[in-house]
Amino acid sequence: MKAKYAYKQRTNLMKIRRNAFVHPLYVESRQEKLMRVKNYVYWYIIDMMIAKKDVFLKLYPSNFEKSVEEEIDMASISKNDRVLHIGCGSYPITAIVIEKITGAFVVALDRKYAAVELAEKYRKDKNIKNIKIEYGDGIKYSAKDFDVIIITSIVMPRKEVLDNIFKTSNRNCRIICRELDDAKNSSKRYILFNGVIIKRKIKPGGNWISYLITKRNS
């Protein structure tokens, strides 16, 4: 009986370890998860439409560029920085705005081949030189070569991406973590747990909150 109970306990522990979202400080509510998924689907469709036809640009928030400008000021992004944007989508507007305003080199990353192909076509069609569209997953993509990292609010799975960025980024890296208003509490708790500092928080014109994060030993 004891052996059977011990085996059951070990099995349950293995299940918990495999479950990426089981963490005492990072437990998203059902509402938070639903909100993130709904936003992901919405922006995925909108980005694809814009990447194919500029006429759909009117569907994008008119203050989006202003929101990115606020993040640029918050993180002091300059021409000498190498920037990584995780979750660029088919229409890499964040990378475009950063490159246009600062002249910084930006790697725009997405884990969907369709999004990467459309974003690269858009970049070529608009003759944008200082942006690299790249296929990759934020869960395992190395962040060590970047000065600034921006994590889009709809990037999932959230915990694993944060884990990887906190682990592989250099100690002087400035990390901008965008969070949906309805998801900010669980993410903030997890960010603080990971030995990093929230230097600033802003709520730009978009539907998100931006945290500026640095490592404690920076």
Q: Is the pLDDT of residue 142 over 90?
A: yes
Higher pLDDT, 213 or 218: 213
Q: Which of 16-20, 70-74, 113-117, 212-216 has the lowest mean pLDDT?
A: 16-20
What is the pTM assigned to this prediction? Answer: 0.82
The whole-number pLDDT of residue 187 equals 64
The whole-number pLDDT of residue 148 equals 98
Q: Which domains does the chain have, with CATH numbers?
A: 2-215 (3.40.50.150)
pLDDT tens digit string along 191-211? 666 667 888 888 876 668 899
pLDDT tens digit string along 53-100? 988 888 887 888 999 999 999 999 999 999 999 999 999 999 999 999
Residue 176 — φ and ψ, nearest 5°? -105, 115
The whole-number pLDDT of residue 26 equals 54
Q: Is 173 left (phi over 0), alpha (psi -120 to 50) or beta?
A: beta
Cβ pair 91, 154 in contact under 8 A = no
Q: Is the pLDDT of residue 4 over 60?
A: no
Nearest CA to 109 out of 124, 94, 99 is that of 94
- CA–CA gap between residue 67 and residue 85 (Å, rounded): 15
Higher pLDDT, 157 or 207: 157
- Find the farthest-apart pair of alpha carbons in the chain and give their distance in angstroms, rounded: 70
Please report, for residues 43, 70, 154, 199, 208, the alpha-carbon distance to residue 93 in angstroms, rounded to integers and kept in the order given.
12, 14, 15, 25, 16
